[in-house]
Amino acid sequence: MKISMRLTTMIIAALMCTASLFAQKTLPDTKVSKLSGEKVSILDHASNGKLTVISFWATWCSPCKKELDAISEVYEEWDELYNAELVAISVDNARSSAKVGPMVAQKGWDYQIYLDPNQDLQKALNFQTVPQTFIIDEEGVIVYEHSGYVPGDEYELEEKLEELSSK
């Protein structure tokens, strides 16, 4: 009888773990700040009918800046071909977030830039390091996640955008 109860418990636990693997992860209802200081809901990008690439970065992170520079070169094409937008969210703390606006202006990045100085959204999405990139589909479901950056990763992102836009 004990073996049967253990086996049943193990099967139930395995089924619950499997179900959670297949559960759709959606964007949390979290506020971020525009460079102007105005608070906005990140969910605005989950319901705008576009594929949304969300890239978390910081001013002190070289791979982050390289990723955003590389995406900048193909971003206009992504918008045209895949109806995709990029949202770059800085996780710089309150002290270093003053560097974000000048860096964005100097780089000429032409995407929506937000600040997450308390890392509320970062915590809600449960990741530790930047760069961290997500693709959100038109229904607000997180369909892709990638950590780190090496040159060429932007083409992997583009392949995923192409695949999603053709559905």
Domain limits, the chain: 25-165
| Residue entry with tokens 């996640």 | 145
Q: Topology of 25-165 in CATH?
A: Glutaredoxin (3.40.30)
Confidence (pTM) = 0.83
- pLDDT tens for each residue of 81-119: 999 999 999 999 989 999 999 999 999 999 999 999 999
**140 with 27: CB under 8 angstroms?**
yes
* Across 21-30, 43-52, 125-134, least confident range: 21-30
Q: What beta strand segments (E) does 35-129 contain?
A: 39-41, 51-57, 84-90, 112-115
- pLDDT tens for each residue of 8-47: 445 554 444 433 344 568 889 999 999 999 999 999 988 8
The number of helix segments (H) and strand segments (E) in the chain equals 5, 7
CA torsion through residues 106, 109, 110, 114, sign: negative
Hey, what are 64's tokens? 């982050």
Hey, what are 28's tokens? 């949390």
